[in-house]
Amino acid sequence: MTFWTKIAGFILRNRYLVLTTIVIITALLLTQSKYVRFSYTEANLLPENHEANIQYNKFLEIFGEEGNLIILGIKDSTFYSLDKFNSWNKLARELDSAPEVEFTVSISDIKKLKADRKKRKFVVDPLFEKEPTKQEEIDQIKIQLFEKLPFYENILFNNEGTIQTAIYLKKDIVNKPERAQFIEETLIPAIEKFKAENNLDVKVSGMPYIRTLNSKNISEEMGIFVLGALFITAIIFFFFFRSFRATFITLLVVIVGVMWAYGFIGLLRYELTVLTALIPPLIIVIGVPNAVFLINKYQQEVKKHGNQAKSLQRVISKIGNATLMTNITTASGFATFVFVKSKLLREFGILASINIISIFILALLIIPILYSFMPLPQKKHLNHLEKRWMENVVDWMERMVRKQRIYIYITTVVIIILSMIGLYQIRVSGSLIEDMPKGKQFYKDIKFFESEFGGIMPLEILIDTKKEKGVMKLSTLKKMEKLNETIETFPELSKPISVNNLVKYSKQAYYNGNPKYYQLPTSQEKSYIFAYTKNSNSNSGMLKNFVDSTGRYARITTFMKDIGTDKMDIIQDRLNAVIQKQFKGDKFSVSMTGKALVFLKGTNYLIKNLVISLSLAILLISIFMAWMFRSPQMILISLIPNMLPLLITAGLMGFFDIPIKPSTILVFSIAFGISVDDTIHFLAKYRQELLANNWKIKPAVYAALKETGVSMFYTSIVLFFGFLVFTISSFGGTIALGGLVSVTLLLAMVSNLLLLPSLLLSFERKIANQKVLKETNFKIFPPKEKK
């Protein structure tokens, strides 16, 4: 009695115990699902000890969280009417009073810096003290703002007339649920009320706002994906099997699998990210093919001999090992992410591999047990096994392999050449917002602020002068000014904000507010202007935003547009050249950082790790094939049909301008991990037929093609439409992922049913090794049994 025969006997004899155990485990895992939380931080694709993370964490230690800014914008000529102008300032005051807000900066908060000649110090006066009651007052405020206060340009207004209000959240809630609560329950209702009362279109942006709405979108889509995957796979399954019973059992298996998936996410205390949110629908899509193989085998056995007990025992003993191997290889493909240093990918790999093995166990246990309680399938439920159109498809494949192998090879070579051309056109993108839903209002608002103010993603330059009060040296300020001038030459970056803006404003104030003096002081002016600064407290509040308390560190803040890694590399190179020239020697230490830059570097890091994880997956499959066949030629023959679809996919990405980015980077690992299942099923059946046909390759290949062709066709169609569900997403990366994986798996099916058998026949003399097969103890399928 074989191991799998014993397993089959145990499952069917103890079916009540097995079902009770599944119910208990499901209940326990459901109690853990309450710990499932959406991530409130940006995905950090880099390991903690990466240089980019070290620099970013150092910046946070000195200046605190830089992603705490929400901005409101209006571009409307009617804004400067009395009622609308006062309503705008009232909105800012309301938001400023919220406990989650540190402070707001609006037109009503503008302070004019003035020189007090008697006390030799600077003082601040409000732009206006009382709420305007006449239109003339607002007209005067407008003149002051746009003609006399260049310090606030690009902070509160631009020269096109667009007005901003800046809302700075308390830094300790930026990465906590309170942030989302404030935005959804306080900010959005207040803005909607303002828009309705004033008939003004308010644009809203800033990283806290974008992240909150993005997370909400992900949570909504997660439910759609799960329901969509269940619906589409159920329809396809019923179309093939024409059995409500088989469809119900399959749906029950995958629904329990989804419950387990949520339970494992909660149990491991992982947060839901763009990647981990894909796990539940992924389990549905991968779980259904398991059911296809098991139910198809059960119905084949029932049709052969009509004995239910023998049919169920053979389903487990004959398909169990083959399905286990295919699920292990799929799980292994995902498990290779465990060796990647990126926390985001590692968590995805762990969850995916655990849940793939779990869905296999659930299918192997639930399907035979439930069928054991039911009567034998009726004849109409077995008719699909003799569908003429399906037989025609399999016959066509056999004819192609028998007589048209040369055309298969020519087509393969042409496809490889075209794919290589496309491969060299692939670009890399590391944008934080590229995948965000283009149709959503918050994405349109991002584009508004990009066109009006140069971007919303902060890029920080940290300058360490290595001595206390080193920032306020005129020589240091002049070096920073050169860097500021370089930043202003880039259309992809906004005007920079730094201590220089404040120093220039001080000089302007010293010269009675004349805007033509908004510039750095000369060496002669420095001593008496800075003397005024030392005597006043008016600048201290503003200064702490740009310089640390010791005066050693300074920051230059600019905002980036939605740019990819190529443009960012050019910008970095030019800025680094200026930094090297201006801050040469060991007297200064200058670094560029910020969430957007860390994300860009994370994308490049991921690409390197993709190569590593995919190489590991290929190595694992090669080891498995070597163990199974003890033949180097078989390793090559088994890998070619699975590498070809990946190459085609890479070519399609190049031709259709779908960039490599964190969301699409998984395509290759997912597709390879799943597509290799077909290869294992085919080769395992081929090996069994070799033994049955006295090591004659041709009859073994044709028999394997006929027997596995139907199941492989069914599973590939289910997988194709299952992954196609992801294309209903509003996220560009998820759409690309779904479409590309669907196409890749369909190509993998064709490759495994045409190219693989063709290669086996073409190289039959080199791989027909009876001695090796006799010495191989490992059997994925047991020897063929009689009816």
CA angle 284, 435, 213 (to 5 degrees): 85
Cα–Cα distance measured from residue 459 to residue 470, given in angstroms and rounded to the nearest whole number: 23
> Which superfamily does 3-40+212-424+599-775 belong to?
Multidrug efflux transporter AcrB transmembrane domain (1.20.1640.10)
Q: Which of 261-270, 496-505, 611-620 has the lowest mean pLDDT?
A: 611-620
**What confidence tier does 253 reach under pLDDT thresholds 50, 70, 90?**
very high
Cα–Cα distance measured from residue 429 to residue 563, given in angstroms and rounded to the nearest whole number: 8
Determine whether 68 is exposed, middle or buried from the number of CB atoms within 10 Å of its CB (0-12, 13-18, 19+): buried
pLDDT at 463: 93
Query: Is the pLDDT reported for residue 585 higher than 80?
Result: no
pLDDT at 778: 44
Query: Is the pLDDT reported for residue 385 higher than 80?
Result: no
pLDDT at 123: 84
Mean pLDDT score of the chain: 83
* Partners of residue 464 on adjacent β-strands: 553, 589
pLDDT at 786: 46
Q: Which residue has the tokens 């995948």?
A: 435
Contacts 24+ apart (CB under 8 A), 53-59: 53/598, 55/462, 55/591, 55/592, 55/593, 56/593, 56/594, 56/595, 56/598, 58/462, 58/591, 58/593, 59/460, 59/462, 59/555, 59/591, 59/593, 59/594
Query: Is the pLDDT reported for residue 777 higher than 60?
Result: no
Query: Is the pLDDT reported for residue 66 higher than 80?
Result: no
pLDDT at 542: 61
In tens, the pLDDT along 75-105 reads: 988 898 999 999 999 999 999 999 999 888 8
Query: Is the pLDDT reported for residue 561 higher than 60?
Result: yes
Question: What is the bridge-based pairing of β-strands 457-464 and 589-593?
Answer: antiparallel
Query: Is the pLDDT reported for residue 774 higher than 60?
Result: no
Closest to 558 (Cα-Cα) out of 489, 471, 464: 489
Strand order, beta sheet including 589-593: 553-560, 457-464, 589-593
Hey, which of 291-305, 356-370, 631-645 has the most confident mean pLDDT?
356-370
Region 141-149 average pLDDT: 87
pLDDT at 772: 47
Strands (E), 33-76: 37-38, 69-74
In tens, the pLDDT along 744-756 reads: 888 888 888 888 8
Residue 140, H or E segment? helix 135-143
In tens, the pLDDT along 474-529 reads: 999 999 999 999 998 888 888 899 999 989 988 998 898 899 999 999 888 888 88
Q: Which of 101-110, 195-204, 246-255, 383-392 has the lowest mean pLDDT?
A: 383-392
pLDDT at 189: 94
Say if residues 163 and 72 touch (Cβ distance below 8 Å): no
pLDDT at 418: 93
pLDDT at 381: 59
**What confidence tier does 776 reach under pLDDT thresholds 50, 70, 90?**
very low
pLDDT at 787: 43
Cα–Cα distance measured from residue 104 to residue 93, given in angstroms and rounded to the nearest whole number: 8
Region 442-457 average pLDDT: 84
pLDDT at 380: 64
Cα–Cα distance measured from residue 323 to residue 316, given in angstroms and rounded to the nearest whole number: 10
Query: Is the pLDDT reported for residue 598 higher than 80?
Result: yes
Determine whether 585 is exposed, middle or buried from the number of CB atoms within 10 Å of its CB (0-12, 13-18, 19+): exposed
**What confidence tier does 346 reach under pLDDT thresholds 50, 70, 90?**
confident
Q: Which of 224-238, 336-350, 405-419 has the lowest mean pLDDT?
A: 336-350
pLDDT at 91: 92
Region 350-358 average pLDDT: 92
Region 373-399 average pLDDT: 74
CA angle 491, 497, 498 (to 5 degrees): 135
Say if residues 226 and 251 touch (Cβ distance below 8 Å): no
Query: Is the pLDDT reported for residue 707 higher than 70?
Result: yes
Region 178-188 average pLDDT: 90
Region 48-58 average pLDDT: 86
Query: Is the pLDDT reported for residue 194 higher than 70?
Result: yes
Cα–Cα distance measured from residue 518 to residue 149, given in angstroms and rounded to the nearest whole number: 9
Hey, which of 183-192, 234-243, 368-377, 426-435 has the most confident mean pLDDT?
183-192
Pick the more confident residue, 687 or 495.
495
Region 309-337 average pLDDT: 80
Cα–Cα distance measured from residue 7 to residue 27, given in angstroms and rounded to the nearest whole number: 25
Say if residues 704 and 757 touch (Cβ distance below 8 Å): yes
- Which pair of tokens denotes residue 161? 């007339």
Region 135-152 average pLDDT: 88
Cα–Cα distance measured from residue 386 to residue 690, given in angstroms and rounded to the nearest whole number: 25
Closest to 77 (Cα-Cα) out of 204, 200, 197: 200
Query: Is the pLDDT reported for residue 775 higher than 50?
Result: no
Query: Is the pLDDT reported for residue 674 higher than 90?
Result: no
Q: At what angle do helices 343-372 and 595-629 cross, to 10 degrees?
A: 50
- Which pair of tokens denotes residue 567? 């443009």
Region 241-270 average pLDDT: 90
Entry field: residues in the chain:
787
Region 216-230 average pLDDT: 81
